[in-house]
Structure 1
Amino acid sequence: MDPVIVVGAGPVGLALALSLAAQQVPSVVLDEGDGTQEERTARTVVLRPDTAALVERLGCADAPAEGAVWAGWRSMRRKQLVRELTLGDQEEFPAPLHLPQHVLTRGLYAAAEAHPLVELAIRARVDTVEQDAKGVTVHTREPGYLYWRGSYLVGCDGARSTVRKLLGIRFAGRTAVERHAVAALRVELPWPETALLHRQPPWRGGGPEVTARPLPDDVWRLDWLLPPRGDLVTPDALVARIRDTLAGWCGTTPPYELIDTGVYTLHHRLAQRWREGRSFLAGDAAHLLGALGTQGVDEGLRDVENLAWKLTHAFHHEASEELLDSYEAERRTCVAARLRAADQVLPILRGGGGLRAVLPGAGRSHDNLLADGHLGNGALGALPAYPHSPLAPPPPSPEARADVDTPVGAPVVDVTVTAPDGTAVRLWERLGQGHLLVVLVAPGTGVWDRRHWMQAGVMPRLATAVTALPVPAELLVAEGYPGATAHTVLLVRPDGHLVAAFDGVHPAELYAAADAARGGARREPEALDEAPDAPVHTDRTADVN
Structure 2
Amino acid sequence: MDPVIVAGAGPVGLALALALARREVPVIVFDEAETPTSAEGLRRPRTAVLGPATTALLERLGYGAVRRDGTTWQGWRTLRRRTEMLRIDFTSSPDEAPLHIAQHRLEAGLRAALLNCGPARVVTGCRVDAIEQDAHGVSVHTRGEHETWWRGSFLVGSDGPRSTIRKLLGVRFPGRTAVDRHAVAVVEAELPEPGVALLHRDPPGAPAGQEITARPLPDGLWRLDWLLPAQTRQLTSDALVERLRATLTTWCGEVVPYELIGSADYSVHQRLARRWRVGRVFLAGDAAHLMGALGAQSIEEGIRDAENLSWKLSMAWHDGASKLLLNSYEAERRGAVGVRLRATDQALPLLRASGAWQTVRQTLLAGSGRGQIEMLTDSHLGRGATAASSVYARSPLTLPAQRSGSKSGPSPLTGGCDTPLGGIVSDVPVTAMDGTVGRLRDRLGRGLVVVLVAPGTGVWESRHWLTAGLMPRLASAVAALPTRAELLVTESYPGASAHLVLLIRPDGHLVATMVGCRPAELYAYADLARGGPPVPSQASGPDPTDASGASAGADDQVGGRRG
Post-superposition shift, 1:398? 5.1
Greater alpha carbon shift after TM alignment, 136-145 vs 286-295:
136-145
Query: 1:100 maps to what in 2?
Result: 102
Query: 2:192 maps to what in 1?
Result: 190
Q: Does 1:43 align with 2:50?
A: no
Q: Does 1:444 align with 2:451?
A: no
Q: Which of residues 379, 399, 403 is equivalent to 1:396?
A: 403
Q: Which of residues 49, 57, 60 is equivalent to 2:60?
A: 57
Post-superposition shift, 1:285? 0.5
Equivalent position amino acid for 1:356 in 2: R
Distance of 1:256 and 1:105 partners within structure 2: 27
Residue by residue over 1:127-147, the C-alpha shift from the partner in whole angstroms, topping out at 9 and shown as x without a partner, is 110000100000111224211
Supply the RMSD in Å over aligned alpha carbons: 2.2
Distance of 1:365 and 1:428 partners within structure 2: 34
Post-superposition shift, 1:190? 1.7
Matches within 5 A, 1:347-362: 347-352=349-354, 353-357=358-362, 360-362=366-368
Contact 2:392 2:423 in 1 (8 A): yes
Post-superposition shift, 1:523? 3.8
Matches within 5 A, 1:387-536: 387-392=393-398, 393-397=400-404, 399=406, 400-401=409-410, 403-433=416-446, 435-523=447-535, 530=542
Distance of 1:374 and 1:479 partners within structure 2: 35
Q: Does 1:368 align with 2:374?
A: yes
Distance of 2:239 and 2:557 partners within structure 1: 51
Equivalent position amino acid for 1:496 in 2: G
Equivalent position amino acid for 1:47 in 2: L
Distance of 2:92 and 2:395 partners within structure 1: 28
Equivalent position amino acid for 2:345 in 1: D
Contact 2:131 2:141 in 1 (8 A): yes
Equivalent position amino acid for 2:346 in 1: Q
Post-superposition shift, 1:356? 2.8
Post-superposition shift, 1:524? 5.5
Residue by residue over 1:438-482, the C-alpha shift from the partner in whole angstroms, topping out at 9 and shown as x without a partner, is 011122223322211101111111101111111110011112211
Contact 1:22 1:432 in 2 (8 A): no
Query: 1:22 maps to what in 2?
Result: 22
Structure 2 counterpart SS, 1:417:
strand
Query: 2:549 maps to what in 1?
Result: none
Distance change >3 Å, CA 527–CA 78, structure 1 → 2: same
TM-score calculated relative to the size of structure 2:
0.91
Residue by residue over 1:149-200, the C-alpha shift from the partner in whole angstroms, topping out at 9 and shown as x without a partner, is 0000000100111111011111111111111111111222222211111111
Equivalent position amino acid for 1:448 in 2: W
Distance of 2:73 and 2:82 partners within structure 1: 23
Contact 1:418 1:477 in 2 (8 A): yes
Equivalent position amino acid for 1:341 in 2: A
Query: 1:540 maps to what in 2?
Result: 560
Distance of 2:530 and 2:360 partners within structure 1: 51
Matches within 5 A, 1:109-258: 109-204=111-206, 208-258=210-260
Equivalent position amino acid for 1:428 in 2: R
Distance change >3 Å, CA 526–CA 28, structure 1 → 2: closer
Query: 1:380 maps to what in 2?
Result: 386
Distance of 1:21 and 1:334 partners within structure 2: 26
Post-superposition shift, 1:381? 2.1
Equivalent position amino acid for 1:403 in 2: G
Distance of 1:95 and 1:228 partners within structure 2: 32
Distance change >3 Å, CA 68–CA 333, structure 1 → 2: same
Query: 1:78 maps to what in 2?
Result: 81
Sequence identity, in percent? 56
Distance change >3 Å, CA 533–CA 276, structure 1 → 2: closer
Post-superposition shift, 1:357? 3.5
Distance change >3 Å, CA 311–CA 89, structure 1 → 2: farther
Greater alpha carbon shift after TM alignment, 317-326 vs 115-124:
115-124
Contact 2:127 2:142 in 1 (8 A): yes
5+ residue gaps, structure 1, are none
5+ residue gaps, structure 2, are 547-551
Distance of 1:361 and 1:529 partners within structure 2: 63
Distance of 2:33 and 2:197 partners within structure 1: 34
TM-score calculated relative to the size of structure 1:
0.94
Post-superposition shift, 1:328? 0.3
